[in-house]
Each structure stands twice: as C-alpha cells, then as structure tokens.
Amino acid sequence: MTMETVSTNTAFGGTQGVYRHDSHATGTPMTFSVYVPPHDPGERLPVLWYLSGLTCTHANVTDKGEYRAPCAEHKVIFVAPDTSPRGQGVADDEAYDMGQGAGFYVDATQEPWTPHFRMRSYIEDELPALIAAEFPVADLARQAITGHSMGGHGALTLALRNPDRFRAVSAFAPIVAPSQVPWGQKALGGYLGSDRGSWRQHDAVALIEDGARLPEILVDQGDADQFLDEQLQPERLRAACAAAGIDLTLRMQPGYDHSYYFISTFMADHVAWAAARLHAKDPA
C-alpha cells in the first residue's frame, strides 16, 4: 500500500500528520491522521485509536480533540481514521445518519452499500497493517482504542471482538446498544439487512450478552447530552457489564453535551487511562 503525505506539522515536539492511501477494503482513497509524539531514534511506541462519530471525518478530532499534549506526555501514537468511504460513485443517503460520514464500522452486505462500505475490514485489518508498516509502532498486540458516539460503538465492538488485541478500551457517549435505538436500527438494517442475528456482532451489549468479555471499560457521558435518552442509553451497558462481571467505570458528567467541548475536556483522562495500561509491564 502506497501512502501519500497530505500535511505534517510539529506539535508538542512531535509530528501531526494527515495521510491518504488507496484502500483495498473500501475501494476508495481513505484519509486519516496520525500524531507521533517525540521519541528517541529507534524507539517504538504504543497506539491509541480514536473512532469518530456521525458526520465526522479524521479532521474533527484532529482539530478539536486536544489529545496532542497528553499523547506527548505519555508517549502514545494517536490514530484517527475517517468514518466511511467517500467520493464519486460511493453510495450515500440524504440523511446524516446513513451513507457517507456514517459507516458504523460494519462490512455492508446489502446493496447499494456492499461495494465500498467495508469499514470493519478497513479499521480491523487494513489500516492497522499500514500504520505498523509506516510508523514507529511497538506491537500490533499493544494497542488501545476509544471513540465518540458512533465511534464509541465502533471502539467497544471492535475491542469486544478482539479482546487480546487491546489493552485499554474507553468511549465518549457511545451508542452502546445500536440494535435497540433508532440510529443503530436504521444503519444496521440498511447495511446488514433484516436478520437481527447478524446485528449482534455490531452491538456492544449484545456481544457481552453472548459471552464477549473485557477486563475493564471507561465511559464518559454528559448528562446534558441531547441524544442521551433516545440513542445512547448507557444504562444498558451498565447492566450488561454488571451481569458479566466487567469492571465498567461510567462517569456521568454534569452539564456536558455531545460536542467536542465535552470530548476535549476529558480527552486527557482517556489518553492517561490508555497509557497506564499500554505501558504496564506484562506479568512475569
């Protein structure tokens, strides 16, 4: 895979870059951003993935996420992919919650989405291989993941399906049970079809009910979030984790909404959470 550098800037002693490559998974060019903190020559660093929410690109968190200072402090690479394939000939929908900008991190099985909407394969397999080849990554098995809203859904489900790959998992205002809420029902039905059994691999609460396990999860959720009651419903995740014995830290943050003002306020906490687990020594 050939990677094109779109831009680079120095920040907090490291390099913030934006890159583009032709994806085999989506059949389209894909753009992503990577922040590499200052490090010694030859040093390899762990990775924190950030998956964005509906309508976003890599640029939202890159411009507004305020992650570079804590990533530089903790020596963690920060990777921010796009949320969907884009471009001429890529299927789309007039609504913001379907189509371009709303890939939901699944591999579509239904037309017209099947040719390009393969975000699960892209995020789970293709992009990690490219990041490992092009950046000073320590180990593909030493990673952390977080995300916001639709990206929180993606982070939780990706980690639950690949528990040995992620040492830290967190989310900002995630869609925890997409099978049970309007955003998810529309997207999963559109991309995967009417068989709700096939949706369960893309629903964090359903995955936990079906036996998937993580040792611990951090979730921050604003109590003034306009989508809290209808779309997010973190109490479903609380109940599933309690029943499964998963250590969930669910922090309801008073006065915060769904915006990047909320995300940027608690980003340093999520980077520190990830770094503590990424840098921990393996048991002897």
Strand partners, 29: 22
Q: Which amino acid is at 103?
A: G
State whether residue 34 is helix, strand or coil: strand
Active site residue 279: no
Examine the residue annotation and report whether 125 is marked as an active-site residue of this protein.
no
CA dihedral 57, 49, 190, 259 (to 10 degrees): -50
Hey, is 171 helix, strand or coil? Answer: strand
Q: Is 258 a catalytic residue?
A: yes
Both tokens of 73, joined, read 């402090």
H helix runs in 117-214, sequence order: 119-121, 127-134, 150-161, 182-192, 204-209
Q: Which of 58, 116, 258, 270 is catalytic?
A: 258
Q: Could you give the CA distance from residue 232 to residue 238 in angstroms, rounded to a whole number? A: 12
Instruction: Please tell me which residue in 33, 52, 84, 149 is annotated as part of the active site.
Output: 149
How large is the C-alpha radius of gyration of the chain? 18
Q: Considering only CA atoms, which of 151, 25, 11, 143 is closest in space to residue 81?
A: 151
- Rounded distance, CA 178 to CA 200, Å? 9
* Residues labelled as active-site residues: 149, 225, 258
